[in-house]
Amino acid sequence: MMAPVMSPETQLSRMEDARRQTQRQLELIDRQITRRMTAILPKLARRQTGYHRGKAPDGSTLLERYRANLAGLTAERQPEAEALSRKLARQDAAIAALRDRLSSAGPHSSPEG
């Protein structure tokens, strides 16, 4: 059984939909990392020693812990994010190539030119 032949416009529309879905997946990873960091932040701040013997708390240690946690969470999702980024690049290239073919063919082109 053969699949029905799609018009180039339908094919382009489907390719653009697939690209948007891939972009949403990539954005979802970013949002998940952000949510996890937001949840961790109060714990990091609590570990921060308060005023101890008249010394102000050191903000740089909180920042270092924040960066270390962010790096860890990002590293966990890095392979998935990189795979989606590569897929997005392939989709962009395929969409651009199809658009080029459609624009060079033109709506009223004929074999005689």
From first CA to last CA, the distance across the chain in angstroms is 36
User: φ, ψ for residue 5 (rounded to 5)?
Assistant: -80, 130
Query: Considering the entire predicted model, what is its pTM?
Result: 0.73
Q: How many CB atoms lie within 10 A of CB 42?
A: 9
- Reading the chain (113 residues) residue by residue, the pLDDT tens digits are 666 788 999 999 999 999 999 999 999 999 999 999 999 988 887 765 555 555 666 678 888 988 999 999 999 999 999 999 999 999 999 999 999 999 998 765 444 44
How open is the CA angle 15-105-89, to the nearest 5 degrees?
Answer: 30
User: φ, ψ for residue 106 (rounded to 5)?
Assistant: 70, 155
